[in-house]
Amino acid sequence: MNSDVEIAGDPLAVPHLLPPVPAHPSTVAGFAGLARAIAADRAGWAPLVRYDATTRWYHRLRTGPGYEVWLLSWVPGQGSGPHDHGPSSGVLTVLDGELTERSPSGVRALGAGAQRVFAPGYAHEVVNDALEPAVSLHVYFPGLTEMPMRPPHALACTPAHRDVPPLRTSSLG
């Protein structure tokens, strides 16, 4: 019985009782936690943000084994268009402002702090429908290699419309 084991000296000095904290996340919960930790460090990301009225701005914030973290800005009216993320899963976290997500499961208003976790092939559209700029953080695992655009009816709620072929590849969203 383990309850009969007594450790003489400092138990935390026994290596197998204190496994090292991994330097990089490897689970969905880990990636969501990484996004929340970055979001909480406003002084770290806020000075990097740029707003561009002519094209959606994005910046690769960091990379790790098997994942990438991107910082995006959205001026009012800017949107991603309907798309999926190829073979990548992702965590979308709103850092500032409000974004609207349209997907086959409905329309969601995502305020600062909101998180969405999505699986490979998940189709959605993200738009800044608000009157103020918005900033979001996107973790992709594996790193985003393609972002196929979808026709608008790909986001309809009827299952028959979900599996439509990609149109082309565009920028991040």
Rule CB under 5 A: which residues touch Fe ion? 173
Least CB distance from residue 85 to Fe ion, whole Å?
A: 6
Least CB distance from residue 81 to Fe ion, whole Å?
A: 10
Q: What share of the chain is helix, strand, coil (3-state, %, to 5)?
A: 20, 35, 45
Nearer to Fe ion, 96 or 150 (CB): 150
Least CB distance from residue 83 to Fe ion, whole Å?
A: 6
Least CB distance from residue 17 to Fe ion, whole Å?
A: 41
Q: Which of 138, 167, 133, 139 is nearest to 153 (CA)?
A: 167
Nearer to Fe ion, 11 or 87 (CB): 87
Cα 64 to its chain centre, rounded Å, is 14
Nearer to Fe ion, 11 or 152 (CB): 152
CB neighbours (10 Å) of residue 158? 8
**Is the distance from CB of 70 to CB of 140 less than 8 angstroms?**
yes
Least CB distance from residue 139 to Fe ion, whole Å?
A: 12
Nearer to Fe ion, 25 or 173 (CB): 173
Q: Which residues contact 77 (CB under 8 A, 6 or more apart)?
A: 127, 128
Beta bridge partners of residue 72, listed in sequence order: 58, 136
- Burial class of residue 81 in the structure, from the number of CB atoms within 10 Å of its CB (0-12 exposed, 13-18 middle, 19+ buried): middle
The residue sitting closest to Fe ion, measured at its beta carbon, is: 173
Nearer to Fe ion, 97 or 173 (CB): 173
| Both structure tokens of 133 | 């700029």
